[in-house]
Structure 1
Amino acid sequence: MSSTMWTDKQRGIRVSQAELLCKNVCGYYGNPAWQGFCSKCWRERARKAEVQKQDPCQKNEGTPLTFSKFEEKKSNEKGRRVNTMRRLFWGGPSPPKRESSESQINASKAYQSLEVGDFTGFLKLLRNPSSQRLQSRCTAFLNTVEAYHDLPVEKQSDLVQDFYQNIAEYFSGLSLTEAQVSQMMEHVEKLIMTRLHKWVFCHDSCDDEQKDLALQRRIRSLNWVTPQMLSVPFPDQNAAITGDPFLPAITAIIEMDAKRAPQDKLACVSKCSQHIFEALSTSNSEPANADDFLSGLIYVVLKANPPRLHSNMQYVIRFGLPHSLMAGESGYYFTNLSCAIAFIDKLDGPALNLSPEEFEGYMLQRHAPSVHRGSERKRIASETQDLLHELKGRQEKLDQAMNALKLQLQHWEQAVEAQVDDAIAKSVLLQKEITAEYEMSKCCSSSGQAVALQESVLVLRDQDSCPLDTDC
Structure 2
Amino acid sequence: MMWAEHRRAIHITQAELLCKNGCGFYGNAAWQGHCSKCWRDRTCQADVGEQDCGDAAAPPSVSKEKKSEEKSRRSSTIRKLFLGEATPPKGPDAPLSQAEALKAFEALQPGDFTAFLKLLRSPASQRLQSRCTAFLNTMEAYHALAVEKQSDLVQEFYQNIAAHFNSMPEEQVEQMMEHMEKLVMTRLHKWVFCHDSCDDEQKDLALQRRIRSLKWVTPQMLRVPFTDRGPEDADPYLPAITAIIEMDAKRAPQDKLCCVSKCSRNIFQAVGSCKSEPACADDFLSALIYVVLCANPPRLHSNMQYVARFGLPHALRTGETGYYFTNLSCAVAFIEKLDAAALGLSPDEFRGFMQGGGATGALGQAQQVRQQLEELRRRQEHVMEQARSLQAQLRSWAESTQTRADEVASGGRSSE
TM category (shorter chain) comes to 0.7 to 0.9
| 1:15-57 superposed Cα distances (whole Å, 9 cap, x missing partner) | 0000000000000000111000000000010111112122254
Question: What is the deviation of 1:11?
Answer: 2.9
- Give 1:134 deviation, angstroms: 1.4
Q: Which amino acid aligns with 1:271?
A: K
2:82 is the counterpart of 1:89: yes
Q: Which runs of 4+ in 1 moved over 3 A?
A: 56-60, 94-99, 369-383
Shift of 1:100: 2.8
Q: Could you tell me how far 1:95 is from its partner in structure 2?
A: 7.2
Of 106-115 and 327-336, the range deviating more from structure 2? 106-115
Q: TM-score, normalised by structure 1?
A: 0.74
Q: Which amino acid aligns with 2:295?
A: A
**Could you tell me which residue of structure 1 aligns to residue 281 of structure 2?**
290
Name the counterpart of 2:214.
Answer: 222
Q: Distance in 2 between matches of 1:204 and 1:372?
A: 46
The match for 2:201 is 209
| CA deviation vs aligned residue, 1:364-394 (integer Å, no higher than 9, x gap) | 11122647544545778999xxxxxxxxxxx
Alpha-carbon separation, structure 2, partners of 1:327 and 1:241: 40
Q: Which residue of structure 2 aligns with residue 196 of structure 1?
A: 188
Which amino acid is the alignment partner of residue 273 of structure 1? S
Q: 1:152 to 1:380 in 2, by over 3 A?
A: farther
Residue 375 to residue 284, structure 1, CA distance change in 2 (3 Å): farther
Give the CA deviation at 1:69. 3.2
Q: Equivalent residue for 1:74?
A: 67
Q: Name the CA shift for 1:237/1:379 in 2 (closer, same or farther; >3 Å).
A: farther
1:251 maps to amino acid? T
Deviations 1:188-234 (A, max 9, x none): 00000000000000000100000000000000000000000000000
CA contact (8 A) 2:26 2:317 kept: yes
Match of 2:303 in 1: 312
The equivalent of 1:432 in structure 2 is none
3-state DSSP of counterpart to 1:29: coil
Alpha-carbon distance change, 131 to 279 in structure 1, aligned in 2, over 3 angstroms: same
Per-residue CA deviations over 1:279-335 (Å, capped at 9, x if unaligned) read 101111342100000000000000000000000000000000000000000000000
Question: Match of 1:210, as an amino acid?
Answer: Q
Structure 2 CA distance for partners of 1:129 and 1:380, relative to 1, 3 Å: farther
On the 8 A contact 1:193/1:262 being kept in 2, the answer is yes
Verify: 1:49 aligned to 2:43, yes or no.
Answer: no
Aligned equivalents of 2:308, 2:155: Cα separation in 1: 11
Give the letter for the 1:218 counterpart. Answer: R
The 8 Å contact of residues 110 and 125 in structure 1, kept in 2 or not, is answered as yes
Q: What's the counterpart of residue 236 of structure 2?
A: 245
Q: 1:374 to 1:187 in 2, by over 3 A?
A: farther
Q: Distance in 2 between matches of 1:289 and 1:373?
A: 30
How far apart in 1 are the matches of 2:95 and 2:374? 70
From the CA coordinates, give the structure whose radius of gyration is larger: 1
Offset of residue 76 of structure 1: 1.4
Letter in 2 for 1:203: H
Note if contact 2:254-2:311 (Cα within 8 Å) is conserved in structure 1. yes
Unaligned runs of at least 5 residues, structure 2: 379-416
Name the structure 2 match of 1:419.
Answer: none
Following TM superposition, by how much is the alpha carbon of 1:164 offset from its aligned partner in structure 2, in angstroms?
0.2
Matches within 5 A, 1:160-199: 160-172=154-166, 175-199=167-191
- Match among 11, 29, 46 for residue 14 of structure 1: 11
Counterpart of 1:193 in 2: which secondary structure? helix
Any stretches of 5+ residues in structure 1 without a counterpart?
Answer: 1-7, 384-472
Matched residues in 2 for 1:121 and 1:155: separation?
A: 32
Separation of aligned partners in 2, 1:158 and 1:248? 35
1:102 partnered with 2:93: no
- 1:254-265 to structure 2, matched below 5 A, reads 254-265=245-256
1:410 equivalent in structure 2:
none
8 Å CA contact retained: 2:225, 2:283: yes
Partner of 1:323: 314
3-state SS in 2 of match to 1:339? helix
